[in-house]
């Protein structure tokens, strides 16, 4: 059956890197039997400029109808003066909450060719392969009440509420246990159970769910220690699961261990594995329109989409191997270049991935 993929290029470098991802998908469709229809829609700043709304109704309708969503990035200085509720990022948050994308999967994988791109010593990060599973629709980012109030003495006070219900913890725990079962079978749950009641409940529920997965070895770690251990000895981790706030911070930290924001994809899934796939980086306005962006995180997001939502594991591996091959061939965009590397443009990198794919025919 032909599946529908919503293609949301967004802002800044978005259209440039999306063009390369689409080339990859078109190649898989033309030559490898992938049955997909690609439908473009506006989101973020581009949607504001065209319709006044960062998430137009047509885009939301397509997002709901599609089998998977591919998104590049949204935002940029042009829209920063707008009120918070009108900004491009609201388009992204709206998609996550409207589609119930509660599970954010962020692999931090180091391609051997890029070991020198990390700020850590190569022996600390060589062969690094961590998966961070972050809960995406709960926690202090969504908890009510929230705001800034004026106290009796006239001083202002900001407040937010950290909330997790058992069902929210249970469903993200299951995604993490299932992921760990398919990898090395180790899951580290990260919390602050010594101080925060909501994460005390988190630990209790994760432990309970863990009893259903006897093949996965579950450990627990406080978030402060986890941040330290990720820098000290990141290879001790296989899969990590944590809440929205801690996951936001730890997944950025873990991504930087690989040294290159332009290399890392992510998936945000609902309970049926419908997902939105996007690079972890933003719209990089500083390099937009110059063909300087690295399209590999976007192309690796296509691989994740093939794996999780389109159930095309072989094609996912094919794309990942093609990316590894272009790196072995010495191609580098500016963000991942070493001292003696020649730099290629966004388009050349995409063309090289397509050429490797074609060579596998
Ligand atoms: P950013 O990730 O866009 O850029 C940070 C740095 O990394 C910049 O120097 C940029 O040039 C570089 N970079 C990012 N992606 C790259 C790539 N593919 N190739 C080469 N270099 C790359 O983060 P920022 O500068 O903090 O934010 C810029 C805009 O993006 C803001 O409007 C922000 O709100 C938005 N943003 C969007 C998302 C998203 O759409 N998911 C995520 C983060 C930030």
- What domains does the chain contain, in order, with CATH numbers? 1-101+264-361 (3.40.718.10), 129-257 (3.40.718.10)
Say which DSSP state 79 is in: G
DSSP class of residue 12 equals: T
Q: How far apart are CA 94 and CA 83, in angstroms?
A: 16
Give the pLDDT band (50/70/90) at residue 114: confident
285 lines ligand 1 (CB under 6 A): yes
Which tens digits make up the pLDDT trace of 46-56? 999 999 999 99
Cβ(336) – ligand 1 distance below 6 Å: no
Q: What is the pLDDT of residue 295?
A: 98
287 in contact with ligand 1, CB cutoff 6 A? yes
Q: Mention every residue, 6+ apart, whose C-beta is less than 8 A from residue 345.
A: 291, 292, 333
CB-CB contact of 36 with 18 (8 Å): no
* CA atoms of 238 and 343, how far apart (whole Å): 33
Q: Annotate 177-225 with three-state secondary structure.
A: HHHHHHCCCEEEEEECCCCCHHHHHHHHHHHHHHCCCCCCEEEEEEHHH
- Centre of ligand 1 from the C-alpha of residue 255, in Å: 13
d(CA 325, CA 250): 29
Question: How much is the pLDDT for 203?
Answer: 98
Closest atom of ligand 1 to CA, residue 75: 32
The 10s digit of each residue's pLDDT in 331-348 is 999 988 877 788 999 999
Is the CB of residue 319 below 6 angstroms from any atom belonging to ligand 1?
no
Distance from Cα 75 to the centre of ligand 1, integer Å:
9
Residue 218: C-alpha distances to residues 102, 190, 295, 335 (Å): 21, 11, 35, 36
**Beta strands 129-135 and 275-279, pairing class:** unpaired
- Dump pLDDT digits (tens) for 277-307: 999 999 999 999 999 999 999 999 999 999 9
pLDDT tens string 20-32 = 999 999 999 999 9
Which atom of ligand 1 lies at the shortest distance from residue 296's CA?
Answer: 18
Residue 248 bears catalytic tag: yes
What are 232-256's pLDDT values in tens digits?
999 999 999 999 999 999 998 988 8
Tell me the average pLDDT of the chain: 95
**How many angstroms separate the CA atoms of 243 and 172, rounded?**
9
């Amino acid at each position: 059956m032909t599946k529908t993929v919503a293609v949301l290029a967004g802002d800044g470098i978005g259209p440039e890197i999306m063009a390369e991802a689409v080339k990859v998908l078109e190649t898989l469709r033309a030559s490898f039997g992938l049955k997909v229809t690609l439908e473009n829609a506006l989101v973020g700043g581009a949607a504001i400029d065209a319709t006044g709304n960062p998430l137009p109704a047509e885009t939301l309708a397509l997002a709901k109808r599609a089998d998977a969503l591919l998104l590049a990035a949204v935002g940029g200085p042009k829209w920063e003066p707008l009120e918070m509720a009108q900004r491009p990022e609201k388009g992204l948050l709206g998609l996550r909450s409207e589609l119930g994308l509660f599970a954010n999967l962020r692999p931090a994988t180091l391609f051997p060719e890029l070991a020198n791109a990390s700020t850590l010593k190569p022996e600390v990060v060589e062969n690094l392969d961590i998966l961070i599973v972050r809960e995406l629709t709960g926690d202090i980012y969504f908890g009510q009440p929230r705001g800034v109030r004026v106290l009796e003495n006239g001083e202002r006070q900001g407040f937010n509420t950290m909330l997790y219900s058992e069902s929210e913890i249970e469903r993200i725990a299951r995604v993490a246990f299932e992921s760990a079962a398919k990898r090395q079978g180790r899951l580290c749950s990260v919390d602050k159970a010594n101080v925060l009641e909501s994460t005390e409940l988190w630990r209790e529920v994760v432990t309970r769910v863990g009893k259903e997965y006897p093949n996965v070895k579950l450990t627990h770690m406080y978030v402060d220690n986890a941040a330290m251990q990720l820098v000290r000895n990141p290879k001790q981790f296989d899969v990590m699961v944590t809440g929205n706030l801690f996951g936001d911070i730890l997944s950025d930290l873990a991504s930087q261990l690989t040294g290159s924001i332009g290399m890392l994809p992510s998936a945000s899934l609902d309970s049926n594995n419908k997902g939105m796939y996007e690079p972890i980086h933003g719209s990089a306005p500083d390099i937009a329109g110059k063909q300087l962006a690295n399209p590999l995180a976007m192309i690796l997001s296509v691989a994740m989409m093939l794996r999780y939502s389109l159930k095309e594991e072989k094609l996912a591996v094919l794309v990942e191997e093609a990316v590894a091959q272009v790196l072995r061939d010495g191609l580098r965009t500016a963000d991942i270049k070493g001292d003696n590397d020649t730099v290629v443009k966004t388009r050349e990198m995409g063309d090289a991935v397509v050429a490797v794919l074609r060579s596998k025919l």
